[in-house]
Amino acid sequence: MYNSLDDIPATLLLGAGPSGVAPSTYHALSKSIIGHMDPFFIRIMDELKDGLRLLFGTRNELTVPLSGTGSSGMEAAFVNLVEKGDKVLILQNGVFGTRMVDVAGRLGAEVTELAFEWGKPVDVDRVADQLGKDRYKIVAVVFAETSTGVRNPAKEIGDLLKGTDALYLVDAVTAIGGIPVEADNWGVDICYAGGQKCLSCPPGASPITFSDRAVEAIKNRKTKVPNWYLDMTLLTAYWGGGTRVYHHTPPVNMMYALYQAVYNILEEGIDNVFARHERVHKHLAKGLAEIGWAFLVDEPYRLPELNTVVVPEGVDEAALRKRLLNEYHIEINGGLGALAGKIVRIGLMGYNAKEENVDRLITAMKEIL
């Protein structure tokens, strides 16, 4: 059999994910595999949980990485808390908000979808008005909407929920490691993320955190969690302190990689990492202005790590992306859903958030256009 792995090109990943991986993280992946109940691996697990708490901005005891991509985090968040008939309010302004609606609906929730224009942030006043109309078990929002490049007002939404019984669920897949996430300060009860974005880890791990309130809600369910693999009551026995109880065989080397990826951020300094993403985003904005391209999202709500750019009239964005990939080995992504064909998405995430990568992209775009 011919080994096609020998032909994989070195591609500069400037799309919506996965992002590039640091050499130190690739090295971590290659470390010798050990058993998932090995005392040394348990030590790695405990240290990894501590690092994730810092990135989530939380002291939650139940903070772990799930074996699966960011979508497994979304699934786990809903499947552990939703029972048939529960009222769930989902604030939707992009593809991943619609995915929340789908997941909650499959679980039998009574879903209220409060929709907003794609490319615009969630309107807090409309949320406040909706909250005055009904009581909800869960209110959910995507903090960093990967499909539109919008940073939603997670803190302001959390402020509205303080003093209510509603559990606050936040998607931070594209946010964690790129912009501040402050789960405790914002009153977030469930927050999930992905390793393959700003953490610059290969896809396969989804950090998630549950507040004490969320844990109590899981314990007080009337029915079993319908998904065995993502049942946090079972996973807690494996990831928690004290005697570890076998649940499943996690991707050991992937956990090495996530450990190293988190370590890299802490070593650079969390605030320094956030500042780097912002600086490189501004460098991109300058380069795009030189070729007459404009952002979809108003400046106060833009994500520095995920930039959505309007395609000028007369430009074939699919042909542009194809040439960038085939001739320049640079990947950017097109729009999703209602924005397909109208925008391109340029990711400046984690290890790839560097000025020289922006320069390489802009130079290639100038030559093609």
Banded model confidence at residue 3, pLDDT cuts 50, 70, 90: confident
pLDDT surpasses 70 at 264: yes
Flag the least confident range among 7-11, 176-180, 187-191, 284-288.
7-11
Banded model confidence at residue 8, pLDDT cuts 50, 70, 90: confident
Going by C-alpha positions, the residue among 354, 346, 352 that lies closest to residue 146 is: 346
* Mean pLDDT on 5-14: 91
What the block records as the tokens of 51 is: 């690092």
Mean pLDDT of the chain: 96
pLDDT for 41-87, tens place per residue?
Answer: 999 999 999 999 999 999 999 999 999 998 999 999 999 999 999 99
Flag the least confident range among 4-13, 28-37, 201-210.
4-13
Whether the Cβ atoms of residue 22 and residue 264 lie closer than 8 Å to each other: yes
We report the CATH number of the domain holding residue 326 as 3.90.1150.10
Last residue of a domain, one of 217, 235, 266: 266
Whether the Cβ atoms of residue 207 and residue 64 lie closer than 8 Å to each other: yes
Last residue of a domain, one of 266, 301, 324: 266
Residue 320 shares a structural domain with residue 306: yes
Banded model confidence at residue 7, pLDDT cuts 50, 70, 90: confident
The whole-number pLDDT of residue 252 equals 95
Q: Could you tell me the CA-to-CA distances from 152 to 80, 143, 157 in Å, in that order?
A: 24, 5, 9
Residue 267's SS3 state is helix
pLDDT for 92-123, tens place per residue?
Answer: 999 999 999 999 999 999 999 999 999 999 99
The whole-number pLDDT of residue 6 equals 84
Neighbour tally for 286: CB within 10 Å: 10
Q: Which amino acid type is present at position 326?
A: N
The whole-number pLDDT of residue 193 equals 98
Q: At what angle do helices 317-328 and 355-368 cross, to 10 degrees?
A: 120
Q: Which residues contact 65 (CB under 8 A, 6 or more apart)?
A: 48, 52, 195, 205, 206, 207, 208, 255, 258
pLDDT for 169-190, tens place per residue?
Answer: 999 999 999 999 999 999 999 9
* Mean pLDDT on 20-26: 97
Residue 183 shares a structural domain with residue 235: yes
pLDDT surpasses 70 at 213: yes
Residue 104 shares a structural domain with residue 218: yes
User: Token match 């100038």: residue?
Assistant: 366
What the block records as the tokens of 232 is: 């946090």
We report the CATH number of the domain holding residue 130 as 3.40.640.10
Instruction: State the Cα–Cα distance between residues 261 and 201, nearest whole angstrom.
Output: 6
Residue 100 shares a structural domain with residue 123: yes
State which residues form the domain around 36.
23-266
Going by C-alpha positions, the residue among 187, 185, 183 that lies closest to residue 207 is: 183
- How many structural domains compose the chain? 2
Last residue of a domain, one of 233, 266, 299: 266
**Cross-strand bridge partners of residue 365:** none
Residue 87 shares a structural domain with residue 40: yes
The whole-number pLDDT of residue 129 equals 98
Whether the Cβ atoms of residue 347 and residue 272 lie closer than 8 Å to each other: no
Banded model confidence at residue 278, pLDDT cuts 50, 70, 90: very high
Whether the Cβ atoms of residue 304 and residue 346 lie closer than 8 Å to each other: no
Residue 10 shares a structural domain with residue 66: no
The whole-number pLDDT of residue 241 equals 66
pLDDT surpasses 90 at 290: yes
Residue 42 shares a structural domain with residue 152: yes
Going by C-alpha positions, the residue among 190, 195, 230 that lies closest to residue 210 is: 190
Beta strands 87-92 and 138-142 are: parallel
Note the Cα 335 to chain centre separation in Å: 17
Residue 187 shares a structural domain with residue 304: no
The whole-number pLDDT of residue 233 equals 93
